[in-house]
Amino acid sequence: MIAEFGLAALWLAAALAALQLIAGALALTPRGGTLGGIVRPVAMVQGVLVALSFAALVVLFAQTDLSVELVAKNSHSMKPLIYKISGTWGNHEGSMLLWVMIMGLSGCFVAAVERRLPELTMLATLAGQAFVSLGFYAFLLLSSNPFTRLPSPAIEGAGLNPLLQDPGLAFHPPPLYIGYVGLSVAFSFAIGALVTREVGPAFARAMRPWVLGAWIFLTLGITAGSYWAYYELGWGGWWFWDPVENASLMPWLAATALLHSVSVLAARNALRAWTVMLGVVAFSMSMVGTFLVRSGILTSVHAFAVDPERGSFILGLLALNIGGALVLFGLRAASVTEGERFSAASREGALVFNNVMLSAILGIVLVGTLYPLLAEALGAKVSVGPPYFNPVSAIFAVPMLMVLAVGPLLRWRRDSLARIRPLIAIPAVLLLGVLIWAGSQAVGLLPALGLALSAALGVASLLPLKGRKLRQVKLPVWGMVTAHFGIAVALLGMASDAAFTTERLVAVQPGDTVEVGPWQVQLQRIEPVAGPNWTALRGDLAVSYKGGAVAELHPAARTFWAPPNETNEAALKTRWNGQLYAVLGQETSGGRWQLRLWWKPFVPMIWYGGILIALGGLLALLGRLASDLKRLVARDKIAYRRSRQGR
Amino acid sequence: MIRLLLTILALVLALPGAAQDGVPPAPYANVQLADPAQEAQAHALMLTLRCLKCQSQSIADSDAPMAGDMRSLVRERIAAGEDPEAIRAWLVERYGDYVSYQPRVTSLTWPLYAIPLLLLLGVAVVLRRRLRRGGDA
């Protein structure tokens, strides 16, 4: 019953999306009449229906209804409840349903609250949102139906990959998807504004909170995903330039650029065409990411060629949406002028510089991610990894970070570097000093640059607060300062991990003590332990920092039985100045155990930085929403007075 | 010299059995070299070699037995005084370009390096146009 209900709700939602598109498009024509009136309510009901459909799938997974093919293939009755629930989106069909649900809910939300734009632009926006959704509904219903029943129920489910049975991984996809799909709103706004040629500060102010919201979730999702990879994979790496990671980084880079150009448009009515273009690009990158992850093309181009149905479908959607948007952009770009002008040494100038740099980095990541696929299609297998991405993206990232330190100190429209010279002297001296010191430590060029830039940016990011009364500083400024400081913090973690990590790989007997960096680690015993769907061998380690208080760490090697698999559970000891990372390996000859130990100074700063960046976004969002609300109340008051006077 | 010969002998003996499960791990799969400078060199190289049995992990980041064998091979050759790039070349010859995360410049891969240069040029042009214009407006 529940599966049929979910499927029916999904079909209804798809039908309403079609209605939303047709009604919205017709309402834009001279003969549209009152048809526009139904667009908002339809969008809201569509959002509710698709949410109900998703809820039905969650219930099926929570109950482990083995008569549903998707549940039988991806779940198991013995699994802990939270992993049953997270199993809903831990597979192709479920994650695509999550995708369209978020898309439907965003449309619903926009229809319900967004009242600042001219009504025609809103109709075009909602029609655009429906157009994109419709493609994904078709994809789900025609080639990835999550509610298919089995002819006879399975006796037991096949299980969920044990690597995915971890709170960090289980719950990082939803925020990431909210980020990816939240950008669809920016895409639809861009389409709407292009259709009605209403690109200006009002459009930017309406679009900004949606971009900010999506960007906050993307930032958190990437941060969480990176931390998951760090502790779950068991070798201490936190970013692999893996295509799946790049798929999340590309929309983030585009959204970061968009976020800044939309602010220029809102404040100064400049960069109109550029902002619209970025709105299109940001969501396009989300779709490219989905194509990469969902088509199976990453495992092998040949796997894709053998079963091309799904991949071709998404590729078709991609071409249709991105191509359509670009054609529209091409047709209208001439009539959307660039707007107000400004000089190179100005806030806008710095923002344009960094926008271009972010776009260039995006280009590098895109090329590096797609190139191996292209080469494989041509018959050669190549790998593109950290030795390519790190230095090549640094060519653009280093100047960008330097401008980032200076930009917020510049005035809008026209300024001179001479005016801010006394201010930027401090970070400039820091930059050089740390660079010279790091050079003497022989840590490598990129880590040295990272440390120096982190120190300079850490100070420079706080300078916009100098000489102001902190209580009167507005929330969006706090947001900017927090986010930029977060970048410095994250950079410190990244550079420090690359420069100062100490590694010890040893085979030890219980009783042996090993030193790694300032830590002493003693293996006390190896014990068997059991969990709900696994058994494990657990090492009891006594660790102490520079001979101080002794703490316990318990790295373990787990064996799952459904499906059979082994994972390493790393144990971490966090101090303010770094993290001790311990992994229990296999038993070697003579009752010895492999132990992998790392001392990683300041590595947690990577993720604290990520959280600060997201927090900065949140402060900015709250500030914007508060001032929007104030404006709205003021407008209502005036309208109310007028209506009374008129009486 | 004797050390070098022994290492090569060990390699010749170890390689046919490499990559097969059930065989005890190669000697330097999870054991560091005694000389920190050599270990650092080996580790830097391992980070840029792909584990052929995993998805997007370097041999420095993988539990796969084959990654362990390759780590051992890298450490032994570094210990024997071989140049890291020579080891990379040897592995590329044996396993193909796929094994190295650092793409060589070939007739197929030159765009990977040409595109960033073009981007740099494009960036310079865009910035010149955008930032020169205004000011007096």
DSSP per-residue codes, A76-111: -TTS-HHHHHHGGGSSHHHHHHHHHHHHHHHHHHHH
Contact across the interface for A384 and B108, Cβ inside 8 Å:
no
Per the structure, the complete domain to which residue B110 belongs is given by 104-137
The reply to whether B96 and B117 lie within a common domain is no
A388 touches chain B (CB under 8 A): yes
Contact across the interface for B31 and A505, Cβ inside 8 Å:
yes
Per 3-state DSSP, chain B is made up of helix, strand and coil in percentages (nearest 5) of 60, 5, 35
The reply to whether B55 and B119 lie within a common domain is no
Tokens of A244: 């799946």
Of B61, B96, B132, the CB nearest to A235: B61
| Residue of chain B nearest A566, judged by CA positions | B63
Share above pLDDT 70 across residues of chain A, in percent, rounded to a whole number: 97
Tokens of A121: 């632009």
A587 touches chain B (CB under 8 A): no
Task: Quote the pLDDT of residue A166.
Answer: 75
Confidence class of residue B21 from pLDDT cuts 50, 70 and 90?
A: very low
The reply to whether B117 and B50 lie within a common domain is no
pLDDT of A210 strictly over 70: yes
CA distance B20 to chain A (A): 17
CA distance B12 to chain A (A): 23
Distance CA A87, CA A59 (A): 11
Prediction pTM value: 0.91
Of A360, A371, A586, the CB nearest to B112: A371
Which of A353, A358, A364, A383 should one mutate to test binding to chain B, selecting the residue with the greatest count of B CBs within 10 A?
A383
B50-57, Cβ contacts within 8 angstroms, sequence gap of 24 or more:
B50/A383, B50/A385, B50/B98, B50/B99, B50/B100, B50/B101, B52/B95, B52/B98, B52/B99, B55/A242, B55/A298, B55/A299, B56/A240, B56/A241, B56/A242, B56/A243, B56/A244, B56/A385, B57/A233, B57/A235, B57/A237, B57/A240
Would you give the DSSP letter of residue B47? Answer: T
Task: Quote the pLDDT of residue B1.
Answer: 46
Task: Quote the pLDDT of residue B18.
Answer: 40
Distance CA B12, CA A129 (A): 62
Q: Looking at beta carbons, which residues of chain A come within 8 Å of B133?
A: 341
Region of poorest pLDDT, from A388-397, A404-413, A557-566, A626-635: A557-566
The reply to whether B95 and B129 lie within a common domain is no
Contact across the interface for B55 and A299, Cβ inside 8 Å:
yes
| Residue of chain A nearest B92, judged by CA positions | A382
| Residue of chain A nearest B51, judged by CA positions | A383
pLDDT of B15 strictly over 50: no
| Residue of chain A nearest B120, judged by CA positions | A360
Task: Quote the pLDDT of residue A302.
Answer: 58
Which residues numbered 215-234 in A keep a CB inside 8 Å of some CB on B? 233-234
The reply to whether B52 and B108 lie within a common domain is no
Contact across the interface for B112 and A368, Cβ inside 8 Å:
yes
The reply to whether B26 and B66 lie within a common domain is yes
| Residue of chain A nearest B37, judged by CA positions | A442
The reply to whether B11 and B63 lie within a common domain is yes
CA distance B50 to chain A (A): 8
Higher pLDDT, A277 or A344: A277
A367 touches chain B (CB under 8 A): yes
Helix (H, G, I), strand (E, B) or coil at A337: coil
Mean pLDDT confidence for B39-65: 87
The reply to whether B81 and B130 lie within a common domain is no
Of B62, B102, B111, the CB nearest to A388: B102
Higher pLDDT, B127 or A462: A462
Distance CA A83, CA A75 (A): 9
Of B56, B63, B123, the CB nearest to A242: B56
The reply to whether B97 and B113 lie within a common domain is no
How many independent structural domains does chain B possess?
A: 2
Predicted ipTM of the assembly = 0.81
**In sequence order, which residues have a C-beta less than 8 Å from that of residue B68 and are 6 or more positions away?**
B25, B26, B29, B30
Closest CA to A322 of A298, A288, A356: A288
Task: Quote the pLDDT of residue A489.
Answer: 97
Half-sphere exposure of A436 (CA within 13 A, CB side): 5
pLDDT of B16 strictly over 50: no
Which residues numbered 476-535 in A keep a CB inside 8 Å of some CB on B? 503-507
Region of poorest pLDDT, from A372-376, A388-392, B42-46, B90-94: A372-376
Task: Quote the pLDDT of residue A618.
Answer: 97
The reply to whether B69 and B96 lie within a common domain is yes
Contact across the interface for B103 and A356, Cβ inside 8 Å:
no
Closest CA to A248 of A295, A279, A289, A278: A289
Give φ, ψ of A418 to 5 degrees. -60, -35
Of A298, A349, A367, the CB nearest to B131: A349
Contact across the interface for B123 and A375, Cβ inside 8 Å:
no
Distance CA A49, CA A17 (A): 11
Which residues numbered 413-442 in A keep a CB inside 8 Å of some CB on B? 414
CA distance A128 to chain B (A): 30
CA distance B107 to chain A (A): 11
Which residues of B touch chain A, with CB atoms under 8 Å apart? 24-25, 30-32, 43, 47-48, 50, 55-58, 60-63, 96-103, 108-109, 111-112, 115-116, 119-120, 122-123, 126-127, 130-135, 137
Confidence class of residue A41 from pLDDT cuts 50, 70 and 90?
A: very high
Higher pLDDT, B126 or A136: A136
- CATH, residue B80: 1.10.8.640
Q: How many CB atoms lie within 10 A of CB A91?
A: 21
> In residues, how long is chain B?
137
Asked if A487 and A354 touch (Cβ cutoff 8 Å), the reply is no
CA distance B113 to chain A (A): 9
The reply to whether B17 and B55 lie within a common domain is yes
The reply to whether B65 and B28 lie within a common domain is yes
Q: How many CB pairs under 8 A join A and B?
A: 128
Q: Looking at beta carbons, which residues of chain A come within 8 Å of B72?
A: none
Segments making up each domain of chain A, as ranges: 1-161, 502-601
Average pLDDT value over all residues in chain A = 89
Confidence class of residue B17 from pLDDT cuts 50, 70 and 90?
A: very low
Contact across the interface for A243 and B56, Cβ inside 8 Å:
yes
Asked if A525 and A552 touch (Cβ cutoff 8 Å), the reply is no
| Best-predicted range by mean pLDDT (A6-15, A528-537, B110-119) | A6-15
Mean pLDDT confidence for A117-142: 91
A371 touches chain B (CB under 8 A): yes
A573 - beta bridge partners?
A: A580
Of B24, B62, B112, the CB nearest to A367: B112
Confidence class of residue A52 from pLDDT cuts 50, 70 and 90?
A: very high
Asked if A401 and A425 touch (Cβ cutoff 8 Å), the reply is no
Of A364, A382, A586, the CB nearest to B97: A382
